[in-house]
């Protein structure tokens, strides 16, 4: 059983590393708003996945959030979950559409 590991993505270098890692295995990026009740509830569910969660706090790391939107072509929302494979988004959802089950399905190799 794999344990959830929170990795804060707070620099462009860490984001680039996560994108590169997605060429080896699927990577989850989770945009989280610390002042939003919806985001807090969704984050509780997402934390149940048994995989790494690359966490972007939108209030403090807006430049990272903007770069994710630029790289993936997916409009920014929060909360937002994006799974990358080979550097490309293969899944994304926002708000109550985000579920641990759907994320897990896309994180399987």
**61: which strand partners?**
none
Cα 17 to Cα 39: distance, rounded to the nearest angstrom: 25
- Please enumerate in sequence order all residues whose Cβ is within 8 A of that of 84, keeping only pairs 6 or more positions apart, or say none: 18, 19, 22, 26, 27, 29, 72, 90
Report pTM. 0.94
Q: Is 69 exposed, middle or buried (0-12, 13-18, 19+ CB in 10 A)?
A: middle
DSSP string, 8-75: E--SHHHHHHHHHHTTTS-EEEEEE-TT-HHHHHHHHHHTTSSSEEEEEETTT-HHHHHHHHHHH-PP
CATH of domain 5-107: 3.40.30.10
Could you read off the pLDDT tens digit of each residue along the chain, which spans 109 residues?
A: 456 789 999 999 999 999 999 999 999 999 999 999 999 999 999 999 989 999 999 999 999 999 999 999 999 999 999 999 999 999 999 999 999 999 999 998 6
Q: Are strands 88-94 and 80-85 parallel, antiparallel or unpaired?
A: antiparallel
């Amino acid at each position: 059983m794999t344990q959830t590991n929170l990795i804060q993505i707070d620099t462009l270098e860490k984001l680039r590393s996560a994108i590169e890692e997605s060429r080896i295995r699927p990577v989850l990026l989770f945009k989280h708003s610390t002042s939003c009740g919806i985001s807090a509830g969704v984050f509780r569910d997402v934390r149940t996945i048994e995989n790494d969660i690359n966490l972007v706090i939108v209030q403090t790391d807006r430049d990272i959030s903007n770069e994710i939107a630029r790289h993936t072509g997916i409009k920014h929302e929060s909360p937002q979950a994006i799974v990358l494979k080979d550097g490309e988004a293969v899944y994304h959802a926002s708000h109550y559409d985000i579920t641990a089950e759907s994320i897990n399905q896309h994180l399987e190799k």
